[in-house]
């Protein structure tokens, strides 16, 4: 064991399971100053993690009452169970909830349970049930509904979106100042963050856009698509998609695409799984074969399909399939990456749209942790890391009056490198000006290169 550090501000958190999601959570939560204890059956995993971070590790079964007692469950604020087994995760949380007053979060990935998430969470008294494959499928589907985007993220219960695009050569945006957007395009959107040559900027109105810039802008779904049309981007969703790999993520994605009339073809090498998928997804075309076989891909129409999503369990295969698809077709390609060790190298490959299920999972959990730490005048609804975690988009729900409410933005002393992206108020989305102010009941999204905001008042200097 390694003695844990303790932060006065941090929560006492027990994490069961040291896989990829567990490791991602440990890295982020340790950075944010929490007191962490990890539990895993494998001694070598515990040794490896405790050598890297100043945390406590216990070898054992996380669902065991005595192991949880040793980990300090009586004084814990939160237990997070992210082992490979859904049932073990639910059992860990159930035992913790029975013996202590801590909150509990379980990772549950099986489609059978996904339809009953609300019921399970309520009956077991869990704070959250997170399903990485389902969340990754939702993010992938949002991009396929708007294929010219690199990323599409949803905020304010689906009323607002953050869309990421790359400005192409010869674009109407090239050499245009942000303050002149309204004059040229009458665009009710806000450019929140820009990546240029590896640097991330939170822009002011005087910032001049250039071709090659990757920009993220916020607005309603309708206004975002109007803006894209005006600058020459196509906004129609794809009509067809080819998925390689027939696992849980493929099932969740196909299910969502079929519901909106997108035709789906899945290539899967395991015959038994193909038979299962044909029953689960009667409207999809299921092909039993090797999805890495170029002849098979050609035969099944990779050159003409409108989108291509490799969802094998092997990152290297997914990357190679993406590069191949981009070389033989004009399909929109989305790559799922499970490991995050080589994120910098992957971003240099120009794969286009990349989905990291581990980040999606950790962001949802970290949003909950920060909300739990916050004072009562606001609460974090959504947290989203941008540009390889170099910026954050955070959506707060403002529940009480504070130092930021009822004061026009022009009179607030806001931190630098921070921007108010939108206000959600009574069902409508406001792109704010200096005259606008935050009111109790609003949802407010900020974008910043600062990290660790827990409360809306953190936006002040």
What is the Cα–Cα distance from 432 to 188, expressed in whole angstroms? Answer: 10
Identify the residue whose tokens are 């959570």.
Answer: 25
For residue 255, give both structure tokens: 């299910």
Burial tier of 155 (Cβ tally within 10 Å: 0-12, 13-18, 19+): buried
Q: Are 80 and 97 in contact (CB under 8 A)?
A: no
Select the more confidently predicted residue: 419 or 370.
419
pLDDT band, residue 7 (cuts 50/70/90): very low
Is the pLDDT score of 5 beyond 70? no
* Average pLDDT of the residues in 66-76: 95
- pLDDT tens column, 300-341: 999 999 999 999 989 999 999 999 999 999 999 999 988 766
Instruction: Give the sheet arrangement for strand 418-425, strand by strand.
Output: 378-386, 391-398, 443-448, 418-425, 428-430
**pLDDT range class, residue 125, cuts 50, 70, 90:** very high
How open is the CA angle 34-4-18, to the nearest 5 degrees? 75
What local confidence, expressed as pLDDT, does residue 378 receive?
63
Give pLDDT tens digits for 128-139: 999 989 989 999
Looking at residue 419, what is its pLDDT?
Answer: 94
pLDDT tier at 6 (50, 70, 90 boundaries)?
very low
The answer to whether 53 touches 79, Cβ cutoff 8 Å, is no
Tell me the pLDDT of the chain averaged across its residues. Answer: 91
Distance from C-alpha of 96 to C-alpha of 235, rounded to nearest angstrom:
48
Domains with residue ranges and CATH for the chain = 12-130 (3.40.50.720), 145-230 (3.30.70.1450), 240-355 (3.40.50.720), 362-459 (3.30.70.1450)
**pLDDT per position as a tens digit, 142-153:** 999 999 999 999
Residue 351's pLDDT band (cuts 50, 70, 90): confident
Question: Once rounded to an integer, what is the mean pLDDT over residues 268-275?
Answer: 97
The per-residue pLDDT for range 44-68, each reduced to its tens digit, is 999 999 999 999 999 999 999 999 9
Span 172-183, pLDDT tens digits: 999 999 999 988
What pTM does this model have? 0.85
């Amino acid at each position: 064991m390694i003695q844990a550090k303790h932060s006065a501000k941090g929560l006492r958190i027990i994490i069961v399971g040291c896989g990829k999601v567990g490791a991602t959570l440990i890295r982020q939560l340790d950075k944010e100053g929490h007191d962490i204890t990890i539990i895993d059956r494998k001694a070598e995993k515990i040794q490896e993690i405790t050598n890297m971070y100043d945390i406590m590790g216990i070898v054992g079964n996380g669902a065991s009452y005595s192991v949880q007692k040793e980990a300090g469950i009586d004084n814990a604020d939160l237990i997070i169970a992210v082992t490979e087994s859904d049932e073990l995760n639910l059992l860990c949380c159930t035992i913790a909830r029975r013996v202590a007053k801590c909150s509990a979060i379980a990772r549950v990935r099986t489609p059978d349970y996904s339809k009953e998430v609300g019921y399970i969470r309520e009956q077991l008294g869990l704070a959250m049930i997170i399903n990485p494959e389902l969340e990754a499928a939702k993010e992938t589907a949002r991009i396929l509904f708007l294929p010219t985007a690199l990323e599409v993220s949803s905020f304010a219960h689906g009323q607002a979106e953050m869309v990421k695009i790359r400005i192409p050569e010869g674009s109407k945006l090239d050499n245009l100042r942000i303050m002149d957007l309204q004059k040229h395009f009458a665009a009710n959107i806000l450019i929140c963050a820009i990546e240029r040559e590896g640097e991330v900027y939170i822009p002011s109105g005087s910032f001049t856009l250039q071709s090659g810039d990757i920009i993220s802008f916020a607005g309603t779904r309708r206004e975002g698509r109007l803006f894209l049309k005006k600058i020459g981007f196509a906004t129609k969703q794809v009509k067809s998609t080819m998925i390689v790999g027939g696992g849980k993520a493929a099932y969740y994605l196909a299910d969502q695409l079929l519901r909106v009339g997108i035709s789906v073809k899945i290539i899967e090498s395991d015959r038994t799984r193909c038979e299962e998928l044909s029953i689960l997804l009667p409207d999809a075309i299921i092909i039993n074969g090797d999805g890495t076989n170029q002849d098979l891909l050609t035969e099944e129409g990779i050159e003409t399909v409108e989108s291509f999503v490799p969802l094998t369990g092997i990152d290297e295969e997914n990357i190679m399939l993406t590069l191949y698809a981009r070389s033989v077709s004009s399909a929109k390609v989305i790559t799922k990456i499970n490991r995050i060790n080589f994120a910098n190298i992957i971003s240099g490959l120009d794969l286009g749209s990349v989905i990291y299920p581990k980040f999606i999972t950790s962001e949802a959990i970290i949003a909950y942790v920060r909300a739990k730490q916050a004072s009562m005048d606001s609460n974090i609804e959504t947290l989203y890391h941008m540009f390889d975690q170099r910026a954050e988009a955070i959506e707060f729900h403002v529940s009480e009056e504070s130092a930021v409410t009822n004061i026009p933005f022009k009179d607030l002393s806001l931190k630098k490198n921070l921007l108010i992206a939108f206000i959600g108020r009574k069902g409508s989305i406001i792109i704010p000006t200096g005259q606008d102010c935050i009111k109790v009941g609003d949802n407010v999204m900020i974008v910043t290169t600062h990290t660790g905001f827990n409360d809306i008042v953190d936006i002040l200097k």
